[in-house]
Structure 1
Amino acid sequence: MNHSSEHEAIPANANVLAQSRVFHLDQMPVRKMANGGRSWDVVRGVLATGEVIAIHESEQPAGLAPNPAHTIEHTEFITIIEGTLEFTYDGKAERVGPGGVLYVAPGTMHQVKNIGDGPARYVVVAIGGDVKR
């Protein structure tokens, strides 16, 4: 299989991430989620190697309902920074704490829920598929 032909051409107006840099949390736009959580958009764009990527950091308060379970058509890696999450996927539920990493394959119905006493913070790296630039 020729992998170079699998990548679509990078549009001229795409946010191409070709230079190293630092992203500061206090300079990121923050979104309020329906469940009272917050999310900071780190970056959306296209890597110099052609993959579409979106990264955000989220915080779920303790004791509130999680965001609804949903299916994605891209790949996600979720790294837990603080707190304890319950990761529900494929009929399973697993607990994960700080330093743990979740892998969400395309097409997976999934949900993360804060099951700890304090806030849960995590970083989501979404790659390819239906990720918007």
Structure 2
Amino acid sequence: MTASYYAPHGGHPPQTDLLTDRAVVTEAYTVIPRGVLRDIVTSVLPEWEGTRSWILNRPVSGGATTFAQLLVEVEPGGGSDHPEPQPEVQGLIFLMEGTLEVTYQGETHELTPGGFAYLPAGEQWRIRATGDAPARFNWIRKRYEPLAGHVPTAQFGNEQDLEPSGMPGTNNAWRTTRLLDPDDLAYDMHVNIVTFEPGAVIPFAETHVMEHGIYILEGKAVYRLNTDWVEVQEGDYFSLRAFCPQACYAGGPSNFRYLLYKDVNRQVML
């Protein structure tokens, strides 16, 4: 089955549309549906050319505080020679549309849809959109928590080339493609592609310390967030604070797939 990656294109709804939408902010979670991602809510970024972004998450009181997440749209030839303003911040880019060239330590890597690049904190890198159409990608940023004896290395690849791991007892109907090695303590975050076949479920209310940023790449589902059942579809985004209960039913007819961030592999500091 061909992989599908939904990306926003902006624009504005007509004056005849109803105002009602699915956007909601609570103390446990925030849902930003794709209908909110319009031209009027974009930001330009310092040191970037031909670029606009939708900022999906930033650390705020009462919300998810460990990371920032952006949807970035770069016109052909646009990009940045100094994309990351904070040397203590690491980043992961996941491409949904177009093509990108990411240059790291003198070597250029071409990303196509499904491609990703993990860039360690403190390293210089450059990024350019190539081809005839805009590049649209997720950019996850997290302040790196150093750990003695463990140094992360840059990672480049495409999720379609990685073998997903099936969850036990699901006959592979619920599976995870891990972009970073989950057992390597050098990495203090995981970024995964989670896939559910139509009708598959998370059969219990996950309740854990890890925060989440979830961008839906394909399909639709009903998601349990804290005490609420929320309908979500491709292009929607939601962030979960620590210990927000979560579960879901995948709705079909296609697979339900999302890009998942979580903070991991560090002791709780008191």
Normalising by the smaller structure, the TM-score range is 0.7 to 0.9
**Match of residue 23, structure 1, among 157, 160, 172:** 157
Partner of 1:109: 245
**Match of residue 70, structure 1, among 190, 206, 210:** 206
Q: CA offsets per residue over residues 26-67 of structure 1, 9 Å max, x none?
A: 4434201232222110115657xxxx2101101100123334
Shift of 1:93: 0.9
- Once residues 215 and 230 of structure 2 are traced to their aligned partners in structure 1, the CA distance between those partners, rounded to angstroms, is 14
Partner of 1:125: 261
Percent identity of the aligned residues? 14
| TM-score, structure 1 as length reference | 0.74
Shift of 1:12: 1.6
Q: Secondary structure at the match of 1:23?
A: strand
What are the residue-to-residue correspondences of 1:27-46 with 2, within 5 Å? 27-33=161-167, 34-35=169-170, 36-44=173-181
- Counterparts in 2 of 1:27 and 1:67: CA distance versus 1, 3 Å: farther
The size of the alignment, in residue pairs, is 118
Partner of 1:100: 236
Greater radius of gyration (CA): 2
Greater relative contact order (Cα 8 A, min sep 6): structure 1 or 2? 1
- Counterparts in 2 of 1:8 and 1:99: CA distance versus 1, 3 Å: closer
Q: Name the amino acid aligned to 2:213.
A: F
Computed over aligned residues only, the root mean square deviation of the Cα atoms, in angstroms, reads 2.4
| TM-score, structure 2 as length reference | 0.39
Q: Name the amino acid aligned to 2:177.
A: W
- Once residues 146 and 253 of structure 2 are traced to their aligned partners in structure 1, the CA distance between those partners, rounded to angstroms, is 46
Deviating beyond 6 angstroms after TM superposition, the runs of 4 or more aligned structure 1 residues are: none
Partner of 2:220: 84
